[in-house]
Amino acid sequence: MKANRESRALAAIVLAAGLSSRMKENKLLLHWKNSTVIGWVVSQLVKAEMRRIFVVTGRDANVVESLTSFPGVKHIYNKLYADGEMLHSLQAGLKMLPGEVDAALVVLGDQPQIEIETIQLVARAFEDNPNCKLILPSFQNRRGHPWIVVRELWDEIISMELPDNLRTFLQRYSGEITYVLVNTTTIFADIDTPQDYQESLKH
């Protein structure tokens, strides 16, 4: 029975070190509801009862830290943030996770439409399927964020070098992916351009 199974530790890694190269300003600092884009993303994780949250910073690190200074949230600085590579931010985050963590929930810092229900569904799938290595949300055969990777695969991600990236990593392990079906497009609704931001404000 589930009640007798030892709970595994899951930590969220929020990738918030990007350059926002297609925006005229740091998109993470844009206004979102009663907060900012990055502040709202982290608040949703808190509301979803994620107990371990690590925010990987880069550009405007001090400001991002102040906007995400919720109780228990920790920050990791990605010294390679200027290259704009998501892989390097995830590598920085994985290297710093404490030893008791069994898996990482990979969260985009520019995805303010992230839903608490989606976070909880993906986390529950991890808890209910102890043999799963990768868990991704899916809507109409399209996968998105946030997704989970177990510690067993972290060393491979940490050792990856460009031009290898997270997309090719997921392709290599496509047979190991467990999909969680969701009924929302928010799993791939991030903000890359001013147009993306204006469109997202309509929802």
Instruction: Give residue 199's pLDDT.
Output: 86
Give the burial string for 118-140 (b: 16+ CB within 10 Å, else e).
bbebbbebbeeeeebbbbbbbbe
Instruction: Give residue 175's pLDDT.
Output: 95
Rounded to two decimals, the pTM is 0.94
Instruction: Give residue 3's pLDDT.
Output: 38
Instruction: Give residue 24's pLDDT.
Output: 75
Pick out the chain residues at pLDDT < 50: 1-5
Instruction: Give residue 5's pLDDT.
Output: 42
Residue located via tokens 């510690």: 151
Instruction: Give residue 1's pLDDT.
Output: 33
Which domains are present in the chain? 9-200 (3.90.550.10)
